[in-house]
Amino acid sequence: MQTLDWIVVALYFGLIATIGYLTGRGNRGIEDYFLARRSMPWYAMGLSVMATQASAITLVGTTGQAYVDGMRFIQIYFGLPIAMVILCFTLVPLFYRARVFTAYEYLERRCGPRTRSLTALLFLFGRALSGAVVIYAPSVVLSVVFSLDATLTILLIGGFATVYTALGGMRAVMWVETWQMLIILAGILFCLGSVIWGLPDQLSLGEALRLAGATGRLETISFDPDPRLTYTVWTGLLGGLFLMLSYFGCDQSQVQRYLTGRSLRESRLSLLFNGFAKIPIQFVILLTGALLFVFYQFEKPPVLFDPVTLEETRAARPEAFGEAESRHDLAFAERRGAALDFADAANPAEAEAAEARFLVADAAFQEARSDAIRTASEAKGEPWTDTNHVFPTFVFTQLPAGVVGLILVAVLAAAMSTVESELSALSTASVVDFYRRFREKAGRGASGKHYLRAGRIGILFWGAVATGAALYMGRLGSAVEAVNRVGSFFYGPILGAFVLAAAFPARGARRAFPAVLAGIAAVWGADLLPRALGVDGISYLYYNLIGAAATVLTGVLLARPGRKPRHS
């Protein structure tokens, strides 16, 4: 990091603080603070929703995944546009007309207070863990690659996002996220342009794509019907569809955004905008990772992209790792020559023969790299990969001063936009679904200013919880992977409760509480039973479908017709 890069970072924080201050003034009650007085335009809502999803791992992890595995990941989003259209005609108008603050507040009107409490608690549990992950994961990578202290990075992301979210409220958060998303989009385009610019002069973009395609890294479609596979068309259209319906329809961090709309039409436009813009943006990010693979055909990559682990492994396993490094260097030289021959092939016959030689050379290189990663894992005493370090290493070693700062700002913006939205949603659910509700039931109503203070305290509390958990999470290792799957265990049953409330208000809704519990049990059974039997389970994306179906089926079966509805 050079002086110019730090200036860019400082300007970013100054811009965010200024926008937050100017747009967050004048909050007088919780409708101001939590819902921006329902006055937001569709484009700000759409960019805010998009920024909420665009965590730092979107930039750092997805590019690394495309480098290693190709662009198949995009299939997860195939169900997103369908989900947005469905929500625009189902839950969005129900929420908007009910004038609720939270999604779970709507459930109480149809399903009873216990169902509201259960679903809100599930949200608080899952989002609190998720908040820690979205702070911790990018902080670790940034601290290593950009030579920053890990604790400082965690405190910087978590602390700054907490403070300006608490001070400004939802209006400030959403306008800040709008600018953050524009910065992220600029960063994504700079990333792609930088990779293309870094390719050898004698290599055209078409030849680069041909190299990437030869190894399968441009494959975006798989029609394999195996439900154990995560990246297929069917997983995206079925499991991905229910994940998106659950996330955008039932998760307060998303629902809260389109509840701020100044009209139902604008709320719908924001979701449609997000639904149809997400796939092209994700495509560009994945293409960047695939072209990074081509870039490192000609620029020698480090044997391990994580410099700290590289030195630790050299010290802990000098003989084994030294041999792996030698094989890596020789294999790179062979692959580079084969890649040049393949790119320069003058006719189809030459291209076919050159492609065969290139694929053999690439397989030898990947084997040498795998040996180095296995040696690093043995030195660490646990499975390890450097996927999340691929793209930051390229940024730090290949890009000029100023551009490095811009990319770092994009990563920080992605991390902070996710954190601030989750903190605001956690505070809203805490205050509206629990604190205000129980206070009013006890006959102890309070003024809007009282709940405004409670909202700020809630954000500070959840910010401290998420930041503190992120500091501790470094000791938990594999727990990070488990936390990333938490949403899929609970989103489906929560979606099932909303289906019961909307589609079966006279029957199934009154049994939503035990039905949600049954849905959760079904999901856990789908995850644990294959492990107990020692077989491969289905992709976790299908858990959302299983949870929703089990909840709806249980609610309908438990409801006894002919009796007066009673809230559960």
Diameter of the chain by CA atoms? 84
Over residues 194-234, the pLDDT tens digits come to 888 888 888 888 888 988 999 888 988 889 888 888 888 99
Q: What is the mean pLDDT of residues 384-411?
A: 82
Asked whether residue 329 carries a pLDDT value surpassing 80, the answer given is yes
Nearest to 293 by CA among 513, 482, 65: 65
Q: How far is it, in rounded angstroms, from Cα 229 to Cα 56?
A: 25
Angle at CA of residue 325, ends 319 and 330, nearest 5°? 130
d(CA 184, CA 187): 5
Which of 91-100, 120-129, 498-507, 537-546 is predicted with the least confidence, judged by mean pLDDT?
498-507
Alpha carbons 112 and 106: distance in angstroms, whole number:
9
- What is the predicted pLDDT for the residue at 19? 82
pLDDT at 359 over 50: yes
With a pLDDT cut of 90, the percent of the chain lying above it is 24
How far is the first Cα of the chain from the last one, in angstroms, to the nearest whole number?
58
Lowest mean pLDDT of 62-66, 151-155, 483-487, name the range. 483-487
How much is the mean pLDDT over the chain?
A: 85
**pLDDT of 382:** 80
Q: How many CB atoms lie within 10 A of CB 478?
A: 9
pLDDT at position 476: 45
C-alpha to C-alpha distance for 443 and 445, rounded to whole angstroms: 6
Predicted pLDDT at 458:
93
**DSSP 8-state code for residue 563:** S
pLDDT over 60 (residue 567): no
20 to 45, 134, 156, 215: CA distances (angstroms): 16, 21, 17, 46
CA distances from 187 to 70, 169, 281, 494 (A): 21, 26, 12, 35
Is the model's pLDDT at 539 over the cut of 50?
yes
Q: How many CB atoms lie within 10 A of CB 475?
A: 7
Q: What is the mean pLDDT of residues 379-393?
A: 83
Max mean pLDDT range (54-58, 418-422, 484-488): 418-422
Contact indicator for 141, 388 with CB cutoff of 8 Å: yes
Averaged pLDDT, 506-510: 70
Position 187 confidence tier, pLDDT thresholds 50, 70, 90: confident
What pLDDT does residue 120 have? Answer: 93
**Whole-number pLDDT of residue 488:** 78
Which tokens is 109 given?
Answer: 């009107």
Q: Residue 300 pLDDT > 50, yes or no? A: yes
CB neighbourhood size of 443 (10 A): 6
Contact 361, 342 (CB under 8 A): no
Coil vs helix vs strand at 317:
coil
Q: Considering only CA atoms, which of 396, 423, 389, 550 is closest in space to residue 168? A: 423
| Distance between CA atoms of residues 35 and 169, nearest Å | 8
Tokens of 505: 């208000």
Nearest CA to 419 out of 167, 188, 160 is that of: 160
- Are 217 and 71 spatial neighbours (Cβ–Cβ below 8 Å)? yes
**This prediction's pTM:** 0.84
170 and 260 Cβ atoms separated by less than 8 Å: yes
- Give pLDDT, residue 110: 83
Give the model confidence (pLDDT) of 236-270 as tens digits: 898 889 989 988 888 898 899 889 988 999 999 99
Is the pLDDT at 145 greater than 60, yes or no?
no
Residue of higher predicted confidence among 67 and 5: 67
Which tops the pLDDT comparison, 510 or 431? 431
CA-to-CA dists, residue 100 to 63, 95, 103, 104, 196, angstroms: 39, 6, 7, 9, 48
Find the range with the poorest average confidence among 247-251, 446-450, 493-497.
Answer: 446-450
Statement: residue 485 has pLDDT above 70: no
> Residue 93 burial by CB count (10 A; 0-12/13-18/19+): exposed, middle or buried?
middle
Residue 462: pLDDT over 90: yes
Q: Which residue has the tokens 């790792």?
A: 321
pLDDT: which is higher, 260 or 1: 260
Lowest-pLDDT range of 249-263, 293-307, 324-338, 478-492 = 478-492
Secondary structure string (H, E, C) spanning 75-108: HHHHHHHHHHHHHHHCHHHHHHHHCCCCHHHHHH
**pLDDT value at 479 more than 50:** no
Place of tokens 């603080």: 17
Digit-coded pLDDT (tens) for 273-282: 988 888 898 8
pLDDT at 287 over 60: yes
